[in-house]
Amino acid sequence: MAKNLRTDKSKDRRRAIGLALLALVLLLIPTRGASAQGTPPPGVQPAAPPPILPPPNANIGAQSYSGSGGAAALLGTPVSPLFPGGVGLAKAPAPNMNDKQAALRGMQNFTSFNCVGCHAPNGGGGMGPSLSNRTFLYGHDPANIYLSIYQGRPNGMPAWGGVLPDSAIWDLVAYITSISKAPSPQWGTTVSATKPEIEQVPAQYVVTPRPWDATEAFSNGRKSNANFGRQP
Amino acid sequence: MKLGRRKFACLAILSGGYDVPNRLRFRPLEHGTWRILRGLLLATAAAIAVPALAQDQPPQSSSDLQALSQDDHNWVMAAKNYASTRYSPLEQINTGNVGQLKLAWTFSVGPARGQEAAPLVVDGTMYVVAPYAGVYPNRVFALDATTGELKWWYSPKPNLAAQGVACCDVVSRGLAYDNGKVFLATLDMHAVALDAATGKELWVSKIGDIGTGETVTMAPLVVKGKVLIGNSGGELGVRGWLTALDEETGKIAWRAYGAGPDSEVLIGDDFKAPYDWMKGKDLGVKSWPPGAWKTGGATAWGWISYDPELDLIFYGTSNPGPWNPNQRPGDNLWSSTLFARDPDTGAAKWAYQLSPHDLWDHDEVNENILLDLDIDGQTRKVVVHPGRNGYMYVIDRASGRVLSADAYDAVTVYDGVDLKTGRIRPVHDKDPLMGKVVEDICPAPPGAKDWQPSAWSPKTRLLYVPHQHLCATFKAAEVGYIAGTPYVGATVDMYAGPGGYRGEFMAWDPVKRKKIWSIKEDFPVWSGALVTGGNVAFYGTMDRWFKAVDARSGQVLWQFRGGSGFIGQPITYLGNDGVQYVAILSGVGGWPGVVANAEVDPRVRNGALGFTGATQDLSAHTVGGSSLLVFALAKENVEKPAVAPSAAPPPAQPGP
């Protein structure tokens, strides 16, 4: 298969401009609270650890996974798990799966491209579905998530493929994969007066690509106790 | 700020520009030649039909709506009447027998999303609209209001992408009716006129573009032959407007923007600002950073009232965008503003900004109840406006000057309203500086009260107010504008207010300026209110109770456990059998309810723009639903014969 099926030069140009502007945008993101290596906060604690913000990354926009991650290369990605005759399709792996900084960069993109407005901080959902658990209607493999972002989805997910370079989408995929790792004590979901039992320490107190590492007792609509003891 | 503007510019280019219209660029849909032919056929049919009809009925004119609204067989507009009292003089159901109220019939409207709509009842037929979801979004049903028999349904052509730009569930708050037509405004920015008898589509008009992030959720109102519709999208940086369409053709007669130059806000020579600080040219431009008014919200997604005597419509505008106030220094006129306009031209007569430079998403689109109140020995024509900011405003509706503004819920972020200047006083210790976590913001972003409309009884002279009781933690952050995506810039986490409860149904006396009684509810009271001549007030709860209370004392007289939580608008009417019915949709949702009707994680408090924090346990009480419930008394429990409509006097109060 050809590496690049696109022949529309204006689209290439637009994407090139997009890439350049993305680089500019991300370079302009202020450097705040530089912390070490994106270490996640320690585990289950009612008192929240200090915020963790992504380190500045000057190369973020120029990061390239060309040749391996383009949408064209993902045409074979199945959305359905049903394969007639038992003949399956191969899912392309994420090209950045070994890049430990990808999720941090993705977290920044998640804010910069207003993903956070619909899917909420830590992917809790609202206008769009939550990304904080394992429910992904269009598939939860990296290639599926990539395509959902690139192509959009019919119930309101915008198609970002014309705006975002592949590398930015793959970083978002890394972030989404990271925030979706909800603790999963059972196969299905039970809700009752005593379940769920936990909630995340809310995002105003902790900024991290691994929000499920910092949880507290479920508050039933009362104020989070995460800030107790840290009141100004 | 410098960063913000540069980012803004880049993203605007990336997203194909944010060419916010400076003129009316929307046109009725073009369907090709057949449409012209169809138009000719319709015109011919109408020419034949009108003389035939005229023999049976008096000729209809737009003033009929006023008369129809006073006939208690009917409920012809969401607010019952132009004064928006949601009061029916019917007293067949009263405090003595409401305890015997029984389910008469039910109907499923389809998608199990937020059911906020008010059913309409006109001449024995009920019209109801469903949320925008599924393959038949915003489906309209016509039912026999007595028996529940389905007469017809209509579904607009679906464009499900609209769901992705609706901030707070895919709700509709109802339909409008006039002159044998039912008017629908779809979430995806179409206005539609239907033949009320047959459901046939009479015209379709595209009134906006979901690509800019705008939608419609409000119930249109017809005034003097014009269908009034406002857009939603204050969370997506849309440019807000209220528009008037000719009810016969769907052509746009006028459009009044919520911000921008006077020529587009329709502020002209006969505009009188009630206070000096709102005087000056093009304040809708000058009170913003350069160009920010183009993405500044000030939508009109709430309620419209009409005073035929003053010939003015009244409605409020939404919050300014983005929520992060650090990106928009200035008063941000005319966001969070109450407007009085001429319904024929849209010209503004006065405007009063309730929250200059809003800090907390305190839209002011809530209902405006038009009353004649005796205040300090004088009868005053007022607007009563239960503010989202937590203050109950009584405003002179001829001048726009505030007569009183009293807190009706916990308020920590304001220190009252200065009646000399008309300006609310923010508590600056709470200012949401960039990146600062500000705690105990009361009322929370949805305010002390959101869209859920109050009801006024001229018998008790009390206002029945459903509302929430929430506070929030708020952290502002830089946000860039990308057309068609959220433009918020705040991390919000809401929770129950002082005392641990989250909602209240209260009776308020606007003359004595105090709460008379109150029922505290565990969840926000997100349903509308209804009050009747039988001194019964109705409301529903998010945890599935539909309640009838004594309007004088607040004593709960009856309650019914519904299939899903209630966020709809209760109505009442007389059936063709002379029986008084009470109807409401059951189906939890809306901004507080998406955590129970959509895939929203209750364990992530900042979800749903922070509302998840406050209602995270809702899905342990209810999930989404879609049932219309209609109640009546059994014949043996009716004490009095039904009041004949011709004998029913027009209500002494409400005003016009």
Predicted pLDDT of residue A228: 58
pLDDT confidence tier of residue B252, bands split at 50, 70 and 90: very high
pLDDT, tens only, B91-127: 999 999 999 999 999 999 999 999 999 999 999 999 9
Residue type, B166: A
Rounded mean pLDDT of chain B?
91
Look at residue B39 and tell me whether its pLDDT is greater than 60. Answer: no
For B13-161, strand residue ranges (E) read 87-88, 102-108, 120-122, 125-129, 140-144, 150-154
Predicted pLDDT of residue B9: 38
pLDDT, tens only, A97-143: 899 999 999 999 999 999 999 999 999 999 999 999 999 999 999 99
DSSP state at residue A153:
B
Section A10-30 average pLDDT: 48
Q: How far is A220 from chain B (nearest CA, A)?
A: 5
Q: Show residues of chain A in contact with B598, CB under 8 Å.
A: 125, 129
Q: Show residues of chain A in contact with B471, CB under 8 Å.
A: 223
Q: Which of B162, B480, B604 is facing A120, going by the closest CB pair?
A: B604
Q: Determine the Cα–Cα distance for residues A148 and B621; give it in Å rounded to an integer.
A: 33
Look at residue B507 and tell me whether its pLDDT is greater than 90. Answer: yes
Look at residue B352 and tell me whether its pLDDT is greater than 90. Answer: yes
Q: Show residues of chain A in contact with B160, CB under 8 Å.
A: 154-156
Section B41-70 average pLDDT: 55
Q: Determine the Cα–Cα distance for residues B164 and A155; give it in Å rounded to an integer.
A: 6
The tokens of B435 are what? 């990146």
- Sole residue written with tokens 């809790």: A124
The residue of A21, A130, A181, A205 whose CB has the most chain B CBs within 10 angstroms, and thus the best one to mutate to test that interface, is A130
A165 part of contact set with chain B, CB < 8 Å: no
The residue of A44, A113, A114 whose CB has the most chain B CBs within 10 angstroms, and thus the best one to mutate to test that interface, is A114
Section B621-644 average pLDDT: 83
Predicted pLDDT of residue A225: 87
Predicted pLDDT of residue A230: 52
CB contact under 8 A, A224 and B493: yes
CB contact under 8 A, B606 and A211: no
Predicted pLDDT of residue B59: 42
Rounded to the nearest 10 degrees, what angle do helices B2-14 and A9-28 cross at? 160
Predicted pLDDT of residue B24: 33
A111 part of contact set with chain B, CB < 8 Å: yes
A98 part of contact set with chain B, CB < 8 Å: no
pLDDT confidence tier of residue A64, bands split at 50, 70 and 90: low
Query: What value of ipTM does the predicted structure carry?
Result: 0.87
pLDDT, tens only, A183-223: 988 999 999 999 999 999 999 999 999 999 999 999 999 99
Section B299-325 average pLDDT: 98
Predicted pLDDT of residue A49: 33
Q: Show residues of chain A in contact with B164, CB under 8 Å.
A: 118, 127-128, 155-158
Section B457-472 average pLDDT: 98
Predicted pLDDT of residue B60: 45
pLDDT confidence tier of residue A68, bands split at 50, 70 and 90: low
Identify whether B319 is a catalytic site residue.
yes
Measured CA to CA in angstroms, residue A127 lies from B113, B139, B323, B486 at distances of: 13, 21, 16, 9
Q: Would you call B43 exposed, middle or buried from its count of C-beta atoms within 10 A (0-12, 13-18, 19+)?
A: exposed
Q: Show residues of chain A in contact with B162, CB under 8 Å.
A: 156
Highest mean pLDDT out of A50-64, B26-40, B430-444: B430-444
Q: Determine the Cα–Cα distance for residues B623 and B542; give it in Å rounded to an integer.
A: 10
Report the percentage of chain B scoring pLDDT > 70.
88
pLDDT confidence tier of residue B54, bands split at 50, 70 and 90: very low
The residue of A14, A22, A127 whose CB has the most chain B CBs within 10 angstroms, and thus the best one to mutate to test that interface, is A127
pLDDT confidence tier of residue B353, bands split at 50, 70 and 90: very high
Measured CA to CA in angstroms, residue B147 lies from B86, B125, B144, B374, B608 at distances of: 24, 10, 6, 43, 39
Look at A2 and A148; give whichever has higher pLDDT.
Answer: A148
The secondary element (H helix, E strand) that includes residue B581 is: strand B580-586
Section B420-449 average pLDDT: 98
A113 part of contact set with chain B, CB < 8 Å: yes
Look at residue A31 and tell me whether its pLDDT is greater than 50. Answer: no
Q: Determine the Cα–Cα distance for residues B454 and B38; give it in Å rounded to an integer.
A: 43
DSSP state at residue A223:
P
Predicted pLDDT of residue A14: 53
The secondary element (H helix, E strand) that includes residue B262 is: helix B262-265
Predicted pLDDT of residue B213: 98
Section B338-364 average pLDDT: 98
Predicted pLDDT of residue B99: 97
Predicted pLDDT of residue B635: 82
pLDDT, tens only, B550-559: 999 999 999 9
Look at residue B602 and tell me whether its pLDDT is greater than 50. Answer: yes
Contact residues for B647 (Cβ-Cβ < 8 A; gap 6+) = none
Q: Show residues of chain A in contact with B10, CB under 8 Å.
A: 21, 24-25
Identify whether B361 is a catalytic site residue.
yes
Instruction: List all residues of chain A from 36 to 55 with a beta carbon under 8 Å from chain B.
Output: none
Instruction: List all residues of chain A from 190 to 229 with a beta carbon under 8 Å from chain B.
Output: 191-193, 195-196, 198-200, 202-205, 211, 215, 218-224, 227
pLDDT, tens only, B129-169: 999 999 999 999 999 999 999 999 999 999 999 999 999 99
Nearest-Cα residue of chain B relative to residue A119: B607
pLDDT confidence tier of residue A43, bands split at 50, 70 and 90: very low
pLDDT confidence tier of residue B637, bands split at 50, 70 and 90: confident
Contact residues for B81 (Cβ-Cβ < 8 A; gap 6+) = B69, B70, B87, B651, B654
pLDDT confidence tier of residue B655, bands split at 50, 70 and 90: very low
